[in-house]
Amino acid sequence: MDAIEVIGLTKRFGDTVAVNGINFSVKEGETFGFLGPNGAGKTTTIRMLTGMTRITSGRALIHGHDIVSDTRAAKQLMGIVAEISNVYDELSAWDNVVFAGRLYHLKRVDIQRNARDLLETFELYERRHDLAGSFSKGMKRRLTLAMGLVNRPKVLFLDEPTSGLDVQSRRIIRDVIQDLARKNVTVFLTTHDIEEANVTCDRVAIINRGVIAGIDAPEKLKQTIESLQSVEVSFDAVRPGVVEVLRALPQASGITKEGDKFRIYTADPPEILASLCALAQEQNLRPISITTRGPSLEEVFVRLTGLSIDTAKEEGETDAGLD
Partner 1 sequence: MPGWIEEILYDLGAAWAIARKDMKIYYLKPSILVSSLLFPFVMFLAFAIGRDTTPEILLPGLLAITLLFSATSIGPVSIPIERRTKTFDRLLSAPISVRAIVLGASLSGAIFASAIGIVATAVGLIVLRIGIIHIVAFCAGIGLTSICFSTMGTLFASYRTENVGEVMSLLNLVRLPLLFISGVFIPIASMPAWGLSIARFSPLTYAHDLIRFAFDETTLFGPVTDVAVLVLTLIIFQVAGALLYQRSRE
Q: Does 183 bind partner 1 (CB under 8 A)?
A: no
CB 201 → partner 1: shortest distance, Å? 22
For partner 1, the closer of residues 5 and 95 by Cβ is: 95
How are strands ordered across the β-sheet holding 203-208? 78-81, 155-159, 186-190, 31-35, 203-208, 211-216
Q: Does 125 bind partner 1 (CB under 8 A)?
A: no
Binding mask 59-98 for partner 1 (x = CB under 8 A): ------------xxx-xx-x-x-x-x-xxxxxx---x---
* 203-208 vs 65-66, strand pairing mode: unpaired
Q: Positive or negative, the Cα torsion across 322, 144, 186, 30? A: positive
| Alpha carbons 85 and 87: distance in angstroms, whole number | 6
For partner 1, the closer of residues 95 and 130 by Cβ is: 95
Q: Does 224 bind partner 1 (CB under 8 A)?
A: no
CB 147 → partner 1: shortest distance, Å? 8
Binding mask 126-165 for partner 1 (x = CB under 8 A): ---------------------x------------------
| Alpha carbons 255 and 252: distance in angstroms, whole number | 7
Judged by CB under 8 A, the stretch of 2-10, 102-110, 186-194, 270-278 that binds partner 1 is: 102-110
Of 165, 171, 167, 215, nearest to 45 by C-alpha is 215
For 312, the enclosing helix (H) or strand (E) is helix 309-318
Of 218, 165, 192, nearest to 312 by C-alpha is 192
CB 103 → partner 1: shortest distance, Å? 4
Task: Please give the residue ranges that form the binding site for partner 1 (CB under 8 A).
Answer: 13, 50-54, 71-73, 75-76, 78, 80, 82, 84, 86-91, 95, 99-100, 102-105, 147
